[in-house]
Structure 1
Amino acid sequence: MSDSKYAFEPAQFKVICVPGDGRCLFRSVAHGACLRLGKPSPSENLQKELADELRAKVADELVKRRKDTEWFLEGDFDTYVQQIRKPHVWGGEPELLMASHVLQMPITVFMRDHKSGSLLTIAEYGQDYGREDPIRVLYHGFGHYDALDFHPSGAKSKLFQK
């Protein structure tokens, strides 16, 4: 994870809205993984399946890395893992970190700066898997994540619209 903030122009991104069904973090990361691998955007049903599969693998990864993760989880570890396996329980930083390990891909989290309109990098995970072309997700600050498709040229300037 990185504390440094990098600003990007909204024209460089297309927000891919995902349903707020408790799976949004997992849906966004799964969607981003498809984009990163050059696969077509998954349908909503496939996105849900991929999200649920990723959630299960993330929970397994938490257990596998228990010695390294237990200290930063709130409450009892076993209860936390049991809860995160449920399809409508929100994920957060621990799940993003584990998802980077499961997918062996870097993940960058952005948040919109409401004053400037820029997107700020607020967290980075999995840099040991490289820094180029990470999975990008947008955190809205109220428990919801969306996927981001990156267009460095900014040529698709009208795409940062929901």
Structure 2
Amino acid sequence: MSKPEKSRLTVEEEEEDDPSRLPVIRVAGDGRCLFRAVVYGACLRSGDPSPTLSKQKQLADDLRNKVVDEFIKRRAKTEWFLEGDFGTYTKQMRKSHTWGGEPELLMCSHVLRMPIRVVMQEGKKNGGMKVIADYGQEYGNECPIQVLYHDYGHYDVLKTSPISNPSHS
């Protein structure tokens, strides 16, 4: 009996399960890096062309506003985990220079109806990465948008393969 060969799909799945094997795509650190990284990842996941810097900015600002709208729509379920006054928080979050974090990643997954995985480097020497959060698993686990969180508050995106049969269109 011979060993079964690994299919190309299996190799791609293995790479996606090991974020340290994925190339890092840098995004601008202009206060909207989380939203830039997520929209860039959504384009990759959908098989769309990589967005230009100006298109990233436009898509990121659009996503930011939709995220705030989603907070408002889900106020009864989200108000408790936001810092400070809800109205002040949502007003501040609409501003392009305001940094996003975990609450915004959760709302991004709902707005886009896509899973989002957050990874972080695990030690400077080995170059490995570890998954620190998964959002939107109710939208499936296949080919999540993968963003890399740097401990100084910046997000980049990891280059993943397009989903084989996108169901969000």
Q: TM-score, normalised by structure 1?
A: 0.86
| 2:52 counterpart (43, 54, 57) | 43
TM-superposed deviation, 1:116: 3.0
Distance 1:13 1:50 in 2: 23
Letter in 1 for 2:72: V
Secondary structure, aligned partner of 1:36: helix
Contact in 2 for aligned 1:56/1:85 (Cα 8 Å) = yes
The 8 Å contact of residues 59 and 84 in structure 1, kept in 2 or not, is answered as yes
Q: Does 1:98 align with 2:107?
A: yes
- Does residue 32 (structure 1) correspond to residue 41 (structure 2)? The answer is yes
The equivalent position to 1:143 in structure 2, one of 147, 153, 157, is 153
CA-CA distance at 1:9 after TM superposition: 5.7
Q: CA RMSD in A?
A: 1.2
Question: In structure 2, what is the equivalent of residue 4 of structure 1?
Answer: none
Whether the 8 Å CA contact 2:19–2:130 is kept in 1: the answer is no
Secondary structure of the residue that 2:23 maps to in structure 1? strand
Q: What SS class does the counterpart of residue 109 from structure 1 fall into?
A: strand
Q: How many angstroms apart in 1 are the aligned matches of 2:27 and 2:159?
A: 13
8 Å contact from structure 2 (residues 45, 160) kept in 1: no
CA contact (8 A) 1:110 1:137 kept: yes
Structure 2 unaligned segments of length 5 or more: list them: 1-16, 162-169
1:160 is aligned to: none
Q: Which runs of 4+ in 1 moved over 3 A?
A: none
Pairing of 1:13-162 with structure 2 (within 5 A): 13-114=22-123, 115-150=125-160
Amino acid of the structure 1 residue aligned with 2:64: R
| Aligned match of 2:165 | none
Q: Which has the higher relative contact order, 1 or 2, with Cα contacts under 8 A spaced 6 or more apart?
A: 1
Unpaired runs of at least 5, structure 1: 1-6, 152-162
Aligned length: 144
SS at match of 1:111: strand
Deviation, structure 1 residue 119: 1.1
Aligned partner of residue 60 in structure 2, secondary structure: helix
Structure with higher Rg: it is 2
C-alpha distance in 2 between matches for 1:9 and 1:88: 28
3-state SS of paired residue (1:150) = coil
> What amino acid maps onto 2:134 in structure 1?
E
Q: TM-score, normalised by structure 2?
A: 0.83
1:65-91 Cα offsets, whole Å, 9 max, x none, are 000000000000110000000000000
